[in-house]
């Protein structure tokens, strides 16, 4: 899912298997340091450091292990935000190190393992990954430019300074300043959101001053989904067009675009923007060429020289315009689905860039393979309740193109009314060579949601 940080998918202990059964929650949690063995004297096996190996980043350690590398985990904070810790697997690592604010001390502990590479597993670990790579003299992205890869206003400024098209933006601690800016620049309607959260967290579309004040009051100084405090609020022009998200992996400043996805979102009656569906598109074509060329410039502007990135771009009437980018792997994802559709995945390519750089270096500039139609559908619950046992759920689980789900479809699972990415009950993968079959099953999912898939919450039951 675009910019989704939560996943309950348990990564495989060895080679991933291509089963059709929905994946199941891992249910593991760790907050404290987990000691592990240090490399033995004379040991030549290579080691990677993975900062926040959760969400899709939980698949990195097994993928490195398949290539003969060991892994050390670093948690960027203690505790990690709740949406991240559910699928952490401490058994995948030589040691789990919890960063407690002193980069030098964390780097000292990491250095005991003599790592050859350090990568970010999830969004909270991006800045610490940059700092550790720099201190350990490993390939990475410059720590001085980290804010441009995390702060959405600094991101826009970096793109603007590079001469690329960008969204008009302002960040402020004052709602009236945002309103005055919108009036002067004619930016109505505009988007109001936190500067460093994700997953449509508190994103509001505002047509007038009253709506801006309401959105500002909801966002300012609140705790966001990444566990940070929103000390400032970002306002941006509303970009109109077709939204895409684009996955890439870079090495030494050369970028391989490994996936382009059409990203469709739906605005509900109450104004909330929710994820509807995302579909992988062929790598070649005039629109894909424009997106690839623009994003290559964006990655350069943001200082992404090494590692994965997950970027959202709106293809407007004036051309591609960046929404935001994260210097990490796409979240809440199953790499096996991507392997089935394209022959590889962002996880595999991130590993390849580290363990076999020569073979990776031939990829930038190439167009990725496109073998099957892959669509990820976000369920949209109309009320608090639960997944109801019965014909609707049974039919949903037996749809011909359904390949898997992030959370595992089970009757009685509590659901919340969907208002953003985090409150979607589940995310379903539809896979088939025939696009009509995928579209047909998508339409049936929406029908089933209106005809018995959910049951309202029973009195006194907490669905959260």
Q: Is the pLDDT of residue 2 over 60?
A: no
Q: Is 75 helix (H, G, I), strand (E, B) or coil?
A: strand
Mean of pLDDT values over 190-218: 88
Would you say how long the chain is, in residues? 464
pLDDT band at 11 (very low <50, low <70, confident <90, very high): very low
pLDDT band at 33 (very low <50, low <70, confident <90, very high): very low
Calculate the CA dihedral of residues 2, 195, 157, 210 and round it to 10 degrees: 110
Mean of pLDDT values over 6-24: 33
| Spatial separation of the C-alpha atoms in residues 198 and 442, rounded to whole Å | 25
DSSP string, 427-456: EEEEEES-HHHHHHHHHHHHHHHTTTSEEE
pLDDT band at 241 (very low <50, low <70, confident <90, very high): very high
The predicted structure's pLDDT at residue 42? 55
Q: Is the pLDDT of residue 213 over 80?
A: yes
Mean of pLDDT values over 345-373: 97
Q: Is the pLDDT of residue 95 over 90?
A: yes
pLDDT in tens, 114-130: 999 999 999 999 999 99
Mean pLDDT of the chain: 88
What does residue 13 show for φ and ψ, rounded to 5 degrees?
-75, -25
Percent of the residues in the chain that have a pLDDT greater than 70, as a whole number: 88
The whole-angstrom distance between residue 197's C-alpha and the CA centroid of its chain comes to 11
Mean of pLDDT values over 300-325: 98
First to last CA, the chain: 21
The predicted structure's pLDDT at residue 39? 53
pLDDT band at 36 (very low <50, low <70, confident <90, very high): very low
Q: Is the pLDDT of residue 24 over 60?
A: no
Which pTM was predicted? 0.87
The answer to whether the CB of 274 falls within 8 A of the CB of 288 is: no
80-84, 119-123, 203-207: range with highest mean pLDDT: 119-123
Mean of pLDDT values over 367-374: 96
What does residue 358 show for φ and ψ, rounded to 5 degrees?
-65, -40
pLDDT in tens, 381-398: 999 999 999 999 999 999
pLDDT band at 40 (very low <50, low <70, confident <90, very high): low
Mean of pLDDT values over 104-109: 98
Percent of the residues in the chain that have a pLDDT greater than 90, as a whole number: 77
pLDDT in tens, 138-186: 999 999 999 999 999 999 999 999 999 999 999 999 999 999 999 999 9
The predicted structure's pLDDT at residue 383? 94
Q: Is the pLDDT of residue 14 over 60?
A: no
Tokens of 83: 């949406």
The answer to whether the CB of 430 falls within 8 A of the CB of 438 is: yes
Peptide bond into 461 cis (omega under 30): no
Mean of pLDDT values over 103-108: 98
The predicted structure's pLDDT at residue 199? 58
């Amino acid at each position: 899912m675009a910019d989704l940080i939560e996943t309950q998918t348990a990564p495989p202990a060895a080679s991933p298997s291509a089963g059709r059964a929905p994946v199941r929650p891992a249910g593991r949690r760790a907050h404290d340091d987990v000691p592990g063995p240090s490399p033995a004297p004379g040991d030549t096996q290579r080691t990677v450091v993975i900062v926040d190996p959760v969400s899709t980043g939980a698949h990195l350690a097994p993928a490195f292990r398949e290539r003969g590398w060991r892994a050390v985990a670093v948690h960027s904070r203690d505790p990690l935000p709740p949406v991240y810790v559910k699928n952490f697997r401490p058994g995948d690592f030589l040691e789990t190190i919890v960063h407690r604010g002193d980069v030098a001390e964390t780097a000292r502990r990491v250095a005991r393992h003599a790592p050859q590479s350090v990568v970010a597993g999830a969004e909270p670990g991006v800045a610490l990954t940059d700092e550790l790579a720099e201190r350990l003299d490993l390939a990475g992205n410059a720590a001085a430019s980290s804010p441009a890869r995390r702060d959405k206003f600094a991101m826009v400024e970096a793109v603007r300074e590079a001469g690329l098209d960008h969204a008009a933006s302002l960040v402020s601690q004052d709602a009236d300043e945002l309103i005055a800016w919108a009036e002067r620049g004619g930016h109505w309607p505009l988007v109001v959101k936190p500067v460093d959260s994700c997953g449509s967290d508190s994103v509001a579309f505002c047509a007038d001053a009253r709506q801006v004040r309401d959105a500002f009051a909801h966002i300012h100084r609140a705790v966001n989904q990444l566990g940070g405090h929103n000390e400032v609020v970002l306002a941006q022009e509303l970009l109109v067009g077709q939204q895409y998200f684009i996955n890439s992996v870079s090495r030494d400043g050369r970028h391989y675009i490994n996936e382009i996805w059409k990203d469709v979102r739906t605005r509900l009656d109450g104004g909330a923007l929710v994820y509807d569906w995302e579909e992988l598109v062929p790598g070649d074509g005039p629109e894909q060429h424009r997106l690839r060329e623009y994003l290559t410039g964006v990655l350069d502007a943001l200082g992404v020289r090494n590692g994965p990135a997950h970027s959202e771009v709106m293809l407007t009437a004036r051309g591609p315009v960046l929404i935001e980018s994260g210097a990490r792997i796409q979240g809440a994802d199953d790499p096996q689905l991507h392997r089935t559709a394209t022959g590889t995945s962002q996880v595999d390519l991130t590993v390849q860039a580290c363990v076999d750089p020569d073979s990776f270096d031939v990829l930038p500039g190439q167009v990725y393979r496109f073998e099957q139609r892959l669509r990820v559908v976000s369920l949209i619950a109309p009320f608090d309740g639960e997944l109801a046992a019965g014909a609707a759920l049974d039919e949903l689980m037996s749809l011909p193109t359904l390949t898997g789900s992030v959370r595992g479809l089970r009757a009685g699972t509590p659901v919340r009314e969907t208002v953003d990415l985090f409150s979607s009950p589940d995310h379903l993968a539809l896979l088939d060579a025939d696009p009509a079959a995928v579209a047909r099953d998508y339409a049936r999912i929406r029908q089933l949601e209106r005809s018995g898939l959910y049951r309202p919450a029973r009195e006194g039951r907490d669905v959260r």
